[in-house]
């Protein structure tokens, strides 16, 4: 096949209020990733389009993503983008929030994609797994790095070293999932969560995300040193003025992108 012969592997649609829905669309293989370019292009669109404030990443056909397509690997190679990682996400630094809406399997690289998102909504029948060791591989797109910091260490190591799955209810119990919903409702819940975020200043949301990322793991003194040059100018912005006026006038703030 030539590049133009490949069927679409990712579908993208803009929704109301500045939400970009990115759907991994290879349901016959649980949305395994064979090429990184389509997902990376969608994420670039999210970052560059000023009318978009938030993204939702999900999968078609009842599953989130089963990671790298091992059958396509010999011909296609590892589906990573230089400096951005698997599907252009796992090593990227996105300014705008990204929510994972998880149904079914989030396995291997699919779990790593979810770990790279800012928030995770999952169906109560979903599961997460890092089975790389059972295939002679390593969870090298964030699994082995991020998971021990997101779960109790011994539990994270059990998942990494035994390839055991983590049911979504257990993931929610340990704080890895923000919201647990009924099967088939993850995307609806992700949109509802997006609306709660989009009610606030887009500029403040993006800056808050940046500060949280840039100061993660730092001691307080260093963290404030990193934060203050970023946060200080906010008080002179139109968004800060609008927020104060809306509060005093007892009305809903009207934010400008």
Per residue in 110-159, pLDDT (tens digit) is: 999 999 999 999 999 999 999 999 999 999 999 999 999 999 999 999 99
> Which element (helix H / strand E) includes 8?
none
Average pLDDT rounded to a whole number, residues 160-171: 98
Tens of pLDDT, residue by residue over 65-100, are 999 988 866 666 677 888 899 999 999 999 999 999
Selected from 3.90.226.10, 3.10.310.30, 3.40.1410.10, 1.10.230.10, the CATH number assigned to the domain covering 3-198 reads 3.90.226.10
Pick the range with the lowest mean pLDDT from 33-42, 103-112, 132-141. Answer: 33-42
- Beta partners for residue 86, in sequence order: 80
* Statement: residue 29 has pLDDT above 50: yes
Q: Which of 112, 141, 195, 242 is catalytic?
A: 112
Nearest to 185 by CA among 2, 94, 58: 58
* Total-model pTM: 0.93
Question: Which residue's entry shows tokens 């978009």?
Answer: 52
Active site residue 132: yes
Number of alpha carbons in the 13 Å side-chain half-sphere of residue 183: 9
Active site residue 158: no
Question: Could you state, in order of their start, the residue ranges of all structural domains in the chain?
Answer: 3-198, 202-248
Q: Which of 76, 132, 141, 183 is catalytic?
A: 132
Predicted pLDDT of residue 69:
87
Average pLDDT rounded to a whole number, residues 6-28: 88
Percent of the chain at pLDDT > 90 equals 85
Burial class (CB in 10 A: 0-12, 13-18, 19+), 130: buried
Question: Which residue's entry shows tokens 């979903």?
Answer: 126
């Amino acid at each position: 096949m030539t590049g133009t012969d490949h069927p679409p592997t990712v579908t993208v649609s803009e929704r109301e209020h500045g939400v970009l829905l990115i759907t991994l669309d290879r349901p016959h293989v649980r949305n395994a990733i064979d090429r990184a370019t389509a997902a990376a292009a969608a994420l670039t669109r999210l970052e560059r389009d000023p009318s978009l404030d938030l993204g939702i990443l999900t999968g078609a056909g009842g599953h989130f993503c089963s990671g790298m397509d091992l059958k396509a690997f010999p011909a296609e190679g590892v589906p990573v983008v230089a400096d951005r990682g698997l599907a252009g996400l796992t090593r990227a630094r996105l300014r705008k929030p990204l929510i994972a809406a998880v149904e079914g399997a989030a396995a291997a690289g699919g779990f790593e994609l979810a770990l790279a998102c800012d928030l995770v909504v999952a169906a109560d029948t979903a599961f997460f797994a890092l089975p790389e060791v059972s295939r002679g591989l390593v969870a090298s797109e964030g699994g082995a790095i991020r998971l021990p910091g997101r779960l109790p260490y011994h539990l994270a190591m059990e998942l990494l070293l035994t390839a055991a799955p983590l049911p979504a209810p257990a993931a929610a119990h340990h704080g890895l999932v923000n919201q647990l919903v009924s099967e088939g409702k993850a995307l609806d819940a992700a949109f509802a969560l997006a609306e709660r975020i989009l009610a606030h200043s887009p500029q403040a949301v993006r800056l808050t995300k940046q500060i949280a990322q840039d100061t993660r793991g730092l001691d307080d003194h260093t963290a404030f040193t990193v934060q203050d040059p970023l946060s200080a100018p906010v008080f002179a912005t139109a968004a800060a003025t609008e927020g104060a006026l809306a509060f005093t006038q007892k009305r809903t703030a009207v934010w400008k992108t």
